[in-house]
Amino acid sequence: MAMITYIQALRDAIREEMRRDENVFIMGEDVGIYGGAFKVTQGLLEEFGEERVKDTPISEAAIVGTAVGSALTGMRPIAEIMFADFITIAMDQLINQAAKIRYMFGGKAKVPMVLRAPQGSGTGAAAQHSQSLTALFTHIPGLKVVMPSTPYDVKGLFKAAVRDDNPVVFLEHKLLYPTKGEVPEEDYVIPLGKADVKREGTDVTIIAGSIMVPRAIEAAEKLQAEGISVEVVDPRTYVPFDVETITQSVIKTGKVIIAEDDCKNAGWGAEVAAKICESEAFDYLDAPIKRLAGLDTPIPYNPKLEKAVVPQVEDIIKAVEEMVN
């Protein structure tokens, strides 16, 4: 397997799906000539041309609206929003149209589109360019929500998203783009709705998503020196959600910490905690579920404050130590 970056794996997935299916195309602000704000689409214009790599006006509502319309006519659009924060400008098109059309037409119409966007803090981009909005989209029936943490996952999950007949919101943390991992050169697809145990352990389960996965793994490795065995589980897809893998880990360890980088109030971690409490795993809990999440505040511009409002490796270590001891 090749050792490549998250961003290269994502680019390869887009390229391979466009080669596989002529109905797949990508559009967004600066995705063509410039190659994307984070260079995800670099080189695609030269291979596929302006008909399939479309630079758009600065209008998120137009981008998502066009994606919905083209998907209804048989295309499989990939719509890039430069920062996930600006999906909010296209909420009507996404929530009231894309998410509901298949249901309202009794399955006679479908909306096979992928809305992908970078999100998350850590780049000094301040409050309007640093939010993690996963919980917003998981609340909407009709949308599938994916948040990969590794190069292997981002490629396999993106291929699954493109091939899905429903609208998929695909969220990529900006800090993960340069990270590297092994990725098969042959075609592979990771089914939506399947969590992954990133690290085996016996004392505590950490359910982590996106950027919190590598932080949780780093924390687990340091805690191993203290004799604490930590299991790290990555949901990968939040709708559909793999309850079984989560509950089996909780049954094994009896202790759970949910680590997320978005703000705590009504975050996706609250839903995961509720699912655990409603499952057979509840009877195996030896301690209350702990949610480790961002502070309920806009992301600051100041680097030290920005780091302080989102859980870091040392925060995970402290949380685990407190739970075990």
Q: What percent of the chain has pLDDT over 90?
A: 99
pLDDT of residue 1: 87
Query: Rounded CA gap, 109 and 203, in Å?
Result: 48
Same fold? 2-183, 196-324: yes
| pLDDT band with cut points at 50, 70 and 90 for residue 14 | very high
| pLDDT band with cut points at 50, 70 and 90 for residue 89 | very high
Taking residue 97's Cβ as centre, other Cβ atoms within 10 Å add up to 20
Peptide bond into 167 cis (omega under 30): no
Amino acid at 131: Q
Cut 0.95: pTM above it: yes
Active site residues: 129
Average pLDDT over residues 76-95: 98
Torsion over CA: 193, 194, 199, 200 (sign): positive
Average pLDDT over residues 169-189: 97
pLDDT tens per residue, range 263-309:
999 999 999 999 999 999 999 999 999 999 999 999 999 999 999 99
Query: Rounded CA gap, 178 and 243, in Å?
Result: 30
Query: Rounded CA gap, 183 and 13, in Å?
Result: 11
Which option is the CATH number for 196-324: 3.65.10.10, 3.40.640.10, 3.20.20.70, 3.40.50.920? 3.40.50.920
Contacts of 85 (CB under 8 A, 6+ apart): 119, 128, 129, 130, 131, 133
The answer on pLDDT for 315 being more than 90 is yes
pLDDT of residue 325: 87
| Domain residue ranges in the chain | 2-183, 196-324
Q: CATH topology for 2-183? A: Rossmann fold (3.40.50)
